[in-house]
Every structure is written in C-alpha cells, then in structure tokens.
A and B are shown apart, each in its own frame.
Chain A
C-alpha cells in the first residue's frame, strides 16, 4: 500500500507492506537512523518520535497508521543549524553516556517543554518514565532538561 506522511517538514510517499512498523519505515525506507530501535515492545522508549506534536513509541505503531500525519524525529530537532535547547542541555550537563536512549528522551523532553516550559524535577522524572536509560544517567538527563527549560531558544536563534 502507498503511504504519505510529513517527516520533519518534508513530505514522503512510499510503497510499504501494511505490517511495516513506523520505526523501520523511518530507519530503513527514509534512512533516518537517529531514531533508535530497541526493545520492540513499547517498554524502552528509544524509538520515541513525535506524531502531530505528541511523543509515541514508533515500534508500536504501523507506518500505515502514521500516514497523513506530521512526524518529527531527532533529525528534525535542530533548526537551521542551531541545536534545540534540549540538545544543548544534554551537551552542557553531560546527559548521555552511550547515547542509545538519547534521541527518544530528547523527543519526550521537547514535548514536555512545549506544554510546560518550567517543569520541576519531579515532573521531568515522571514525564521521561517511559524512556529507559541503562547507563544509570537519569541525574544528568534531568539536569539537561532543566538546563533547556532555563535556556529557551530566543526568537532569533531558531530563525
């Protein structure tokens, strides 16, 4: 079947099997390998992308179900050569070690900050509870998201 969806602002049309999962569509058909593929059971959260602004686990949604919607992946977080504050926060606060969970956490964090620009650490921890880090790096991840909250992108920076 043919699916058309917008990914990071660009429209793509591809022929897929109905059983193709969104994570494989993004990685294998579109070459957007920033979205990682982990547990395959919607537990670990490394495959988190945004659909119409909401984070979802792309291993548990069909590409066919995403057709007609707006997808945003980690590759779409940077705007015109400027890193998103969440990405800058991870650099500033050393929010990653191996980096496998990082794209998923960042897509969840971006959603959190869009609806709540000044979350406390408890809110951040609850929000990223579906994104598992096995480097035991939550302390720095929470600090990284707090850093992003304290350094929102200025008008000119993302233009």
Chain B
C-alpha cells in the first residue's frame, strides 16, 4: 500500500489566501491542484511536503478566454476543458491534439494546465505546446505579477521559475492570423508519456514561412524547443523539403537518453519524423486545408 508521509492540509479560498499560506508555511508547503503528479510522487516519498494547500476551490483561475488579442488560459483549467474548448480549437488545433493523448479521460477530468507546467516533467506534452507557441506564463506573488516566457519557465527537470511564495495563475498565447498548428506523439500505449512528441505552428505569408514555432518533448530538447530549426525556416518557402531540413536540425539538436521507453537513436529518429509531420500539417492548416 502506497501512502504519503504525514502532512498538514488546508484549502485555499482565494489566490491571495493561497499566497498567504505559502508565505506562512515556507518552502515545505506545496500547492495541490489535480494532484495526479504530486500525489504519486508523495506516495513514493519522492516528494515530502509538510503542508498541502488545496487550490481546487479557486474557480476564478478556471477559464479559457480571449483577452486583448491573446488567448488566456487560467492555471486551473482542466485538461478536459482544454480538449473541448471551441476557442482553442478555432485558433490552435495543437491543444486538442496534445490533450487527446494526455493520460485518459478520467485523469483529464482532474489534471490542470498549471499543474502540468509546474510539475515540469521532462516528458510533459503541454510544456512542448507552450514552447512551440511561445506562450507567456503569468506568475503571481503577494507583491504583484510577473510574466516569464514559456521558454524560460523551466529550470531543468521538475524545476521551474515559480518561487516558493508564488503561483502560476495564467498561460497566455498570442493569436496568429494565417497560422496552423499540430501535435504528433508516439507512445508505448494509450495514455502513456511520450517516447517523443513534437508540436508546431506555422504562420504563412504567401508561400513563405512568416513565423513558426517548434516544441519537442521527452528527448532532452533545450527548453522543449528547437530555435535553430525555426531560424532556418523563417522566410523560406513552406515546402516539404524545407520542413524535412528543419526536422533534421531538430534531430541533430536534441539530446535523448536511452531508457525503458526506447533507445536514444530511435528517439532522435522520432524527433525528426514527428517534427516533419507536425510542420507539414501545420502549414496545410495555415493554407486552409482540412488535415
């Protein structure tokens, strides 16, 4: 029987209340949202917080909305809500495609986008999506809010820029007219973590790539991204050949490790293949094709 070590529990009634509790209890306090990453780690005693602050009642952080030309997603938005969001489906298909392969429908009822980012698992899917879309992470403390780029949010595996007395409250994604996006993942079985996965957006200006973003997960990509491949593509024609060349840059840039999910060379192969597929589908969607 797996049981966490003893801890104290308190329910936060507002973001300010949660911040006050974090300040009062110090670095040994942890926020709990869906709990589907934290509780398993606590059962294995890989995490031993002395205090759990339950933020499930903070429904004011549970939203997906348009806000000043950007999509704003509250940190407590559940995976199930992101999967079903018409707003995200309209602007960024990448979210729906990533969510469909995150865990299973029951787990998606509980897990949150904020929890996924803050868990910072090196195989996390939404971290790749955030990096691909160059999302902005809004972090709140008692002294105000600050914004960190998704590509600067992670500070290594399971480490983020969110301080001990701070809360990630919102994820913001700019709307990019004339763009398309897609997510490609290979997993061992339904609902598992990725062996490798890639998410991209492509924004077209005529036949050329005006802007693009490439997010990759589970293969040791720096900040879940591949900036060199993006730099290569921007300004070039959106062709299968150029996407293949960009995917090759990703293949060479990632640093996967051999483990029970597969050997490193296979993961490298996947990084190239999945990036290529995602780029081609993103571009097709940017052209208005139904793929």
Contacts and interface: CB of A to CB of B under 8 A. Distances in A.
A18 B51 CA distance: 10
A19 B109 contact: no
Contact of B106 (A1, A17, A55): A55
Contacts of B39: 21, 60-62
**Chain B interface, >50% SS class:** loop
A130 B105 CA distance: 7
A65 B56 CA distance: 8
A129 B36 contact: no
B105 A60 contact: no
A108 B9 CA distance: 29
B104 interface: yes
A139 to B, nearest CB: 17
Interface string B26-69: 00000010011001100100000000101010000000000000
A1 B9 CA distance: 9
A103 to B, nearest CB: 13
Contacts of A41: 2, 40, 43
Contact of B191 (A18, A56, A65, A129): A129
A149 B104 CA distance: 22
**Chain A interface, >50% SS class:** mixed
Interface residues of A, number: 26
A48 interface: yes
A130 B104 contact: yes
B106 A108 contact: yes
A41 B42 CA distance: 11
B105 A65 contact: no
A86 interface: no
B35 A62 contact: yes
Interface string B1-35: 11111111101000000000000000000001001
A1 B7 CA distance: 11
A56 B106 contact: yes
A17 B110 CA distance: 22
A40 B107 contact: no
B87 interface: no
B190 interface: yes
A6 interface: no
A18 B107 contact: no
Contact of B54 (A40, A48, A55, A64): A64
A127 interface: yes
Contacts of A56: 106, 109-110
A61 B56 CA distance: 11
Contact of B103 (A1, A40, A108, A130): A130
A136 B75 CA distance: 38
Given A18-B9, A129-B190, A129-B191, A61 B35 contact: yes
Most interface-central of B4, B36, B106 (chain A CB within 10 A): B106
B96 to A, nearest CB: 13
A17 B35 CA distance: 17
Given A48-B106, A65-B56, A40 B1 contact: yes
Interface in A41-62: 41-43, 45, 48, 54-57, 60-62
Nearest to B104: A130
A68 to B, nearest CB: 9
A127 B105 contact: yes
A126 B105 contact: yes
Given A21-B3, A57-B107, 6 more contacts: A19-B5, A56-B109, A60-B36, A65-B54, A130-B105, A131-B106
Interface of A: 1, 17-19, 21, 40-43, 45, 48, 54-57, 60-62, 64-65, 108, 126-127, 129-131
15 contacts: A18-B6, A18-B8, A19-B4, A19-B5, A19-B7, A45-B106, A55-B105, A57-B110, A60-B110, A64-B9, A65-B56, A129-B104, A129-B191, A130-B106, A130-B191
